[in-house]
Amino acid sequence: MATAVATPEVLAQATPKAPVNKWLVTLSVTFGTLMGAIDSSIVNVALPQIRGAVGATVQEITWATTGFVIATVMVMPLTGFLGRMFGQKRVYLACLVLFVAGSFLCGLAWNLPTLVLFRFLQGLGAGALQPTEQAILRQTFPPREQGTAMAIFGMAVMVGPAIGPTLGGYIVDNWHWSWIFFINVPVGILGFFMVARFVQEDEQLRATARLEAEKQRKHMDWSGITLLCMGLASLQYFLEEGQADDWFESPVIVLCALLSATCLIAFVIRELTAVAPAVNLRLFKDPVFASGTLLGALVFAVLMASMFLLPVFMQELLGFTATQSGFSLMPRTLVMMLMMPIVGRLYGKVPARVLVGIGIVFAGFGAYEMSHFSLATGSSNIIAAIALQGVGFSLMFVPLSATALGSIPRERMADATGLNSLLRQIGGSVGLAIFTTLLSRYTVLSKASIAAHLNPERWEVASRMAATQKGLMQHGLDAASASMASLQLMVGNVSRQAMVLAFDKLFVLASLMFVVVLPLIYFLKDPPSVGGSHEKPHIDVEI
């Protein structure tokens, strides 16, 4: 007996479902993305407490972060492949369960190996959440509201890492470190039930995905998946651990560099020749997607480097606690939350190049203002600079994300968002690696430069040492102890001033990098129309 085939044409004529409630969809899928974004930074402030609990060294505990990031980047580009094989909604729910389970297990970790393993599981779950939400929002919102969709996504992606240190610092200061993981459990459970209840995939998309999945099963791209995982894992280890291992002075780092280059080149060749590639690299033939994604990765590299520098400056030099530095950065987060919906509405009315260009100017000027920071810098100076950056970040992120995906067909949206998220993540890792390395080297150079002028025979140096020694003697120290203490204080002051100079150089460099990026917006291509080829919403909601 013949079996009827559910073709996309037949499904398109099926009984229409209830109208889309885009805000319920948005709220449902944002839970997971926000938790994953927060977890990328929240752990950093608790590393000292976690290190003591699991008995790890300073070097070893970094694996708790490295393992999470490696797992995340391995999954991101496979989001489209997994969605076709198992269904987009199922993949999101499965990854959310894996993320929540990994979070719970991280809170129970009893030694370093278990913590790294559970963080890796957590990263595998987090990897698909961002690109899947981005795809769902693109398919849910009508063409005229694509800017709004990317503004909501941008708030989750950008605000998450910004509030992570604040939330983590508060939890560590008031509760046990394990609660930075346990807090994900109730939020994740709520998000799971909301996605299960409200989000439904479009039947025509599911039918198309099933047809492609059959082809994928017949020609499984195991070699492409293997090359991708090996290449990205070694690349991310190279970027995360390179500075700690003195880069190419370490045989392990050299091996990772060679392995990543070899595997990724072989991966590109494989995907361009495979019958059913796991990752659709041919999307980069679209100039709109290619220009938006690559420029977005470059801008994100500078953004992440800029966001990394200021908390370190406040904690290392101004003596702020993790909680205090987090609250000091809150104005930037508030500005972004205020600006992103506005920018979302402007998108489509103002050319993307104009919005991105203005954003680059704001962010660059904010970085330049930071280059004037000193040990006497107060909160008002910090707030003014980071508010400028908040405006700039909002003006850049929304149009870059919306433009990059503007011409992608809806059935390729998950592939495109996976690649877009991957390039953005790698760009951020590259920016952090470069600026972390330069911070260390600039500090050494600045310290040597200052020390060259500290000749004890100079009147200024001798006078300062004598005054310090006299003050210490007035507080009860004998002459010999006061002399030694004054020398130590001088060395400490030199180290702090050297770090200030290093940070100032990096803030100037960040500002100059924004200037260098500015002409590149010429290559940012606008989609044929706002929202590209999306004629209607493609995610249904049951009410």
Can you spell out the DSSP letters for 406-455?
Answer: TT--GGGHHHHHHHHHHHHHHHHHHHHHHHHHHHHHHHHHHHHHHHTT--
* Phi, psi dihedrals of residue 221, rounded to the nearest 5°: -90, 60
pLDDT of the residue at 535: 41
The burial class, CB within 10 Å (0-12 / 13-18 / 19+), for 1 is exposed
Long-range contacts of 86-90, Cβ-Cβ distance < 8 Å, separation of 24 or more: 87/201, 87/206, 87/209, 88/132, 88/135, 88/136, 88/201, 88/205, 88/209, 88/414, 89/195, 89/199, 89/200, 89/201
Distance CA 495, CA 399 (A): 42
Element (H, E) at 200: strand 199-201
Q: What is the per-residue pLDDT across 36-58, written as a single tens digit (0 to 9) for each? A: 777 767 777 777 778 777 777 76
State both tokens at 146. 């694509």
- Signed CA dihedral, 393, 396, 398, 404: sign only: negative
* Phi, psi dihedrals of residue 199, rounded to the nearest 5°: -85, 125
Q: How far from 60 is each of 131, 244, 246, 500, CA to CA, in Å? A: 30, 11, 16, 28
What residue has token string 């391995």? 74
Distance CA 24, CA 29 (A): 9
Q: State the DSSP code for 220.
A: -
Q: What is the per-residue pLDDT across 376-395, written as a single tens digit (0 to 9) for each? A: 887 777 888 888 888 888 88
Question: Terminal CA-to-CA distance of the chain, rounded, Å?
Answer: 38
Q: How far from 120 is each of 65, 123, 204, 279, CA to CA, in Å? A: 9, 5, 35, 22
Collapse the DSSP code of 201 into the 3-class scheme (helix H, G, I; strand E, B; otherwise coil) and give the result.
Answer: strand
**pLDDT block averages, 10 residues each, the chain of length 543:** 43 46 78 75 74 75 81 88 85 91 90 89 87 80 74 72 74 82 87 84 75 82 90 89 82 92 93 88 88 84 76 79 72 82 84 88 88 81 84 85 81 86 86 85 83 68 68 68 69 79 89 85 70 39 33
What residue has token string 């989001």? 79
Long-range contacts of 141-145, Cβ-Cβ distance < 8 Å, separation of 24 or more: 141/22, 141/537, 142/531, 142/534, 142/536, 142/537, 143/529, 143/530, 143/531, 143/532, 143/534, 143/535, 144/348, 144/530, 144/531, 145/22, 145/344
Among 281, 389, 325, 381, smallest CA distance to 164 is for: 325
What residue has token string 């330049």? 368
CB atoms within 10 A of CB 54: 18
Pairing, β 199-201 against β 539-541: antiparallel
pLDDT of the residue at 348: 78
* Phi, psi dihedrals of residue 347, rounded to the nearest 5°: -60, 130
State both tokens at 125. 């779950």
**Length of the chain in terms of residues written:** 543
| Spacing of C-alpha 210 from chain mean position | 32
- Backbone φ/ψ region at 521: left (φ over 0), alpha (ψ -120 to 50), beta: alpha
The answer to whether the CB of 128 falls within 8 A of the CB of 92 is yes
Q: How far from 279 is each of 34, 90, 331, 425, CA to CA, in Å? A: 25, 19, 39, 17
pLDDT of the residue at 408: 83
For the chain, give the longest Cα–Cα distance. 104
pLDDT of the residue at 11: 41
pLDDT of the residue at 440: 84
pLDDT of the residue at 496: 81
Can you spell out the DSSP letters for 258-306?
Answer: HHHHHHHHHHHHHHHH-SS-SS-GGGGGSHHHHHHHHHHHHHHHHHHHH
Angle at 394 between CA 389 and CA 395, to 5 degrees: 100
Distance CA 443, CA 495 (A): 8
How many separate helices (H) and strands (E) can be counted in the chain? 23, 2
Collapse the DSSP code of 174 into the 3-class scheme (helix H, G, I; strand E, B; otherwise coil) and give the result.
Answer: helix
The answer to whether the CB of 156 falls within 8 A of the CB of 30 is yes
